Structure 1
Amino acid sequence: MVKKYSIGNEELETLWEEVRELSLGTSNHVERLQSPPSPIEFLRNYVTPNKPCIISNALEHWPALSLWTSDDYLCQALGSTEVSVHLTPNGRADSLVPHPADSSSLCFASAHVEHMSFTDAFHLISDSGESGDVVAYAQQQNDCFRSEYGVLGSDCDAHIDWASEALGCLPEAVNLWIGNNHSETSFHKDHYENLYAVVSGEKHFLLLPPTDIHRLYIRPYPAANYSYYQDTGGFDLELEDPVRHVPWCSVNPYPSQGREEKEHNDFPLYFNGPKPFECTVKAGEILYLPSMWFHYVKQSPRTIAVNYWYDMQFDMKYAYFNFLQSVNPIA
């Protein structure tokens, strides 16, 4: 019989403090480099300690940095090319929303995916959210930049050379993201080393290291999907059948007005603990987001970005994370 162990809040608080003091620093700001690091510097100073950074002056050689500021260029280059667009009524795809049959509980809602010409998608994204009926976001995470948007490939690097050399591989996937300030992405983590390059606009990140997993109150929620009806402009939200549960972070770092006190009471480890790391990634900059880091993302105004997902190493760090995830804190 396997014995179950638990850790208490004091042990968790010590862990949060020690990780910041020994590896990440006590400031809640992400370190900014003024130029790309050498592969060995990147590996030694950021990948190995699992530490994020922002690299400025990293994309000047990309034609995209100037070309993609022109709506006409993008629409002429892609034109009638069919792309995938994620639609929601509120800009919150892959996030927790009120349960369709019980507004006192929550479910995990995935966006409706619509396929349309790039020109139609681009205009919908640019204009969406203003009337409050639909928010569109190009966020297909299936190597879409090298497939749906392949015609733009020569406008960017196929990979980040110093990162590829440091990590010993080429990216597993390259994705294009186009959204406006009405879209947001709730706290989640990825099993990839992420190089996130902003071409236009700005991305705003809240970041928490993997050791802060218990602060996000990951719980199972029933999965649901939005359906969008173009003739009426309305949405339905339906639970999956058969029922499937998705483990997801419960914390909304920006509670709506009137819910602040309840959120603070429900999730004290988050709101009473160390502040998340915060950063804004501007056009021409790259964020290195280490594997397993939790991140919450907003953008402004309309933002276009390309991200490179490199396979993470399933090494001792992954084992440590799984162990921490398996123990039960005393909340």
Structure 2
Amino acid sequence: MSNDDDDDDDHVACPFQCLSQEARELYLESHISRIPVPSPLVFYRDYVSRNRPVIIQGALDQWSALSKWNTLNYFRDQLGDTPVTIDITPDGYGDCVKLHKYFVTPVEEKMPFNHFMDIIEGKKSFDGIVYCQHQNSSFTTEFQQLNNDIHELGWVREAFVPWFDHTENDLQEQTYLNPLKITVEPNELLYLPSLWFHSVEQDSPITIACNFWYDMEYDIKWNYYQFMSNIIKQQRKSEKKRT
């Protein structure tokens, strides 16, 4: 048997490892670049169209939030007892996979913002780890007093509009995955493309982040994603039948 045949057998034996290796060699990078604010064309050409993440430095220079959000008293003054949605988890992991098969979401409660801040600052005890967030544009609906402190980035919208009308332990157990670790500093923006699985950790007691969401393009990337998802589902069904 030729060496080429041996290589083919290896690829068939471990298709996920082969996919991971070829993706690293042909497409993925070993780190995420940091760049100054790009033009809409450069952003779309080099990152959006190639589905590559990037950190953009100085992207938020025009946000008054950079100076106003430096003190917690500002938030108390602006929001007071405004009801906000609080997510509660026992371990800090929300929207994640548990026991390798259950996708769990946090418990959600409404509470006055000042009450939430008392918990964060240790003035009141609370059973569980809390964070203030809610899906589907909570910033514009629950934090309207802060809306003028930030604004959508025009060069990002211009880049999209013309062309477009798991936990860490789980990842480490999959040898064919190669997670990248990055730290996003103040006044930096992380562009995270569609279909990039991710988790977020904070290294300080209080962290504030704002997200802007744009519709993905359902192109060949979506086809591959669905293809891989169906393969994994079929593989799991086969494993259950064997056991």
Cα 1:292/1:106, change in 2 over 3 Å: closer
Q: Distance in 1 between matches of 2:112 and 2:148?
A: 21
Query: Is the partner of 1:116 in helix, strand or coil?
Result: strand
Kindly state the Cα deviation for residue 12 of structure 1 after the two structures are TM-superposed. Answer: 2.4
Mapping for residues 75-94 of structure 1, pairs under 5 Å: 75-94=76-95
Q: Distance in 2 between matches of 1:42 and 1:106?
A: 37
The corresponding residue for 1:113 is: 108
The corresponding residue for 2:182 is: 279
2:32 equivalent among 23, 30, 33: 30
Q: Which deviations, in whole Å up to 9, do the C-alpha atoms of 1:36-88 show, x marking residues without a partner?
A: 11111111111111110111111121110111111111110111211100112
2:171–2:177: 8 Å Cα contact kept in structure 1?
Answer: no
1:97–1:106: 8 Å Cα contact kept in structure 2?
Answer: yes
Mapping for residues 1-331 of structure 1, pairs under 5 Å: 8-25=12-29, 27=30, 29-33=31-35, 35-97=36-98, 107-127=102-122, 133-157=127-151, 159-168=152-161, 186-187=166-167, 252-253=170-171, 267=173, 270=174, 272-273=175-176, 275-301=178-204, 302-328=206-232
Q: Which deviations, in whole Å up to 9, do the C-alpha atoms of 1:93-144 show, x marking residues without a partner?
A: 223457xxxxxx974432221111111112323439x978321111201211
Q: Distance in 2 between matches of 1:132 and 1:252?
A: 28
Q: Distance in 1 between matches of 2:101 and 2:19?
A: 30
1:62–1:155: 8 Å Cα contact kept in structure 2?
Answer: yes
2:79–2:113: 8 Å Cα contact kept in structure 1?
Answer: yes
Q: Distance in 2 between matches of 1:273 and 1:323?
A: 17
Q: Distance in 2 between matches of 1:288 and 1:78?
A: 29
Q: Distance in 2 between matches of 1:38 and 1:287?
A: 16
1:46–1:52: 8 Å Cα contact kept in structure 2?
Answer: yes
Query: Is the partner of 1:15 in helix, strand or coil?
Result: helix
Q: Distance in 2 between matches of 1:286 and 1:164?
A: 14
Query: Is the partner of 2:15 in helix, strand or coil?
Result: helix
Mind listing any 5+ residue stretches in structure 2 that lack a counterpart?
A: 1-10
Q: Distance in 2 between matches of 1:96 and 1:13?
A: 22
Q: Distance in 2 between matches of 1:52 and 1:151?
A: 31
Query: Is the partner of 1:119 in helix, strand or coil?
Result: helix
Q: Which deviations, in whole Å up to 9, do the C-alpha atoms of 1:167-205 show, x marking residues without a partner?
A: 117xxxxxxxxxxxxxxxx45xxxxxxxxxxxxxxxxxx
Q: Which amino acid aligns with 1:299?
A: Q
Q: Which has the higher helix share?
A: 2
Bigger Rg, which one: 2
Q: Distance in 2 between matches of 1:122 and 1:274?
A: 38
The corresponding residue for 1:259 is: none
Q: Aligned pair count?
A: 221
The TM-score normalised by the length of structure 1 is: 0.61
Mind listing any 5+ residue stretches in structure 1 that lack a counterpart?
A: 1-6, 99-104, 170-185, 188-205, 207-250, 255-266
2:91–2:129: 8 Å Cα contact kept in structure 1?
Answer: yes
Q: Distance in 2 between matches of 1:307 and 1:280?
A: 16
